[in-house]
């Protein structure tokens, strides 16, 4: 896909996660292009934006050194997200320096997309995170649990005979062999965990909005028995909003 002919303001957003590196181009609030990488390809991105006049970028990394990416794209005016970066929300986390940047970006996006609401953000990735931001745009914190692949690998690694399986669609509660028993335990067990978190938060925040994102969200968004908003690019949108917030300062 070529971006030739688009005029500024263009934004480059990079989310370096535990498993994949996600890159996206925005023109204003419009998401033009997004791609996942196992290994970063700076040359491909340079070829996409070399016909634009200005590029501002933001990078969030939870798994590597962001400088290894920013050095490949010296044309970009970078913001590297850390705990000192100004935000459009209030961060009340007690140890902001240890907070995952992806968690922070997710709640920033949710607060913008569902303004004036109490929101629980569920990110079903390598780890599953639950993050609460209230209607006053105050991020309060949340929870971290193992993601699906970690759960499957844990059963295989720490037992003598259980085989390794991977996430898949599964609807039966009662397993009748090893495969279906493990699938029920992991897939249905994770679903019940999500439902439990949602129900408990709804006791404290009536009318709670729930936003789900992440690579494994597809297994759960239609099964959760509540008002769910699926947003696959939530973290990328949040990073773009943080970048815009800093450019406007």
Active site residues: 102
The token pair at 14 is 């990079």
How far apart are the C-alpha atoms of 91 and 143, rounded to whole Å? 15
The encoded tokens of residue 63 equal 């798994």
Looking up tokens 């019940």 gives: 192
Distances (CA, A) of 81 to 67, 203, 243: 12, 34, 9
Contact criterion met (CB below 8 Å) for 139 and 121: no
Distance CA 203, CA 226 (A): 13
3-state percent breakdown (helix, strand, coil) of the chain, nearest 5? 35, 25, 40
Pairing of strands 228-230, 209-213: parallel
* CA angle (36, 86, 39) in 5-degree steps: 20
Q: 65: burial class by Cβ within 10 Å (0-12, 13-18, 19+)?
A: exposed
As a whole number of angstroms, the distance between CA 100 and CA 47 comes to 30
> 30-37 and 21-27: which strand pairing?
antiparallel
Helix axis angle for 101-113 and 234-248, nearest 10°, is: 80
């Amino acid at each position: 896909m070529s971006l030739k002919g688009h005029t500024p303001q263009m934004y480059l957003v990079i989310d370096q996660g535990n498993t994949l590196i996600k890159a996206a181009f925005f023109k204003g609030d419009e998401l033009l292009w997004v791609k996942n990488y196992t290994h970063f390809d700076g040359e491909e991105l340079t070829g996409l934006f070399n016909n634009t006049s200005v590029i501002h970028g933001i990078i969030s990394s939870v798994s590597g050194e962001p400088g290894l990416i920013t050095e490949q794209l010296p044309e970009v005016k970078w913001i590297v997200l850390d705990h000192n970066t100004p935000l459009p929300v209030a961060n009340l986390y007690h140890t902001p320096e240890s907070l995952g940047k992806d968690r922070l970006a997710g709640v920033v996006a949710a607060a913008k997309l569902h303004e004036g609401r109490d929101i629980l953000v569920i990110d079903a990735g390598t780890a599953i995170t639950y993050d609460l931001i209230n209607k006053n745009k105050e991020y309060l914190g949340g929870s971290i649990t193992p993601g699906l692949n970690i759960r499957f690998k844990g059963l295989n690694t720490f037992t003598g005979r259980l085989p390794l399986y991977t996430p898949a669609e599964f609807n039966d509660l009662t397993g009748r062999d090893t495969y279906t028993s493990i699938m029920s335990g992991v897939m249905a067990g994770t679903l019940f965990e999500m439902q439990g978190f949602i129900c408990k938060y709804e006791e404290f925040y009536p009318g709670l909005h729930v936003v789900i994102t992440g690579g494994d969200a597809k297994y759960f968004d239609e099964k959760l028995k509540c008002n769910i908003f699926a947003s696959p690019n939530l973290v990328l949108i949040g990073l773009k909003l943080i970048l815009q917030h800093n450019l406007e300062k």
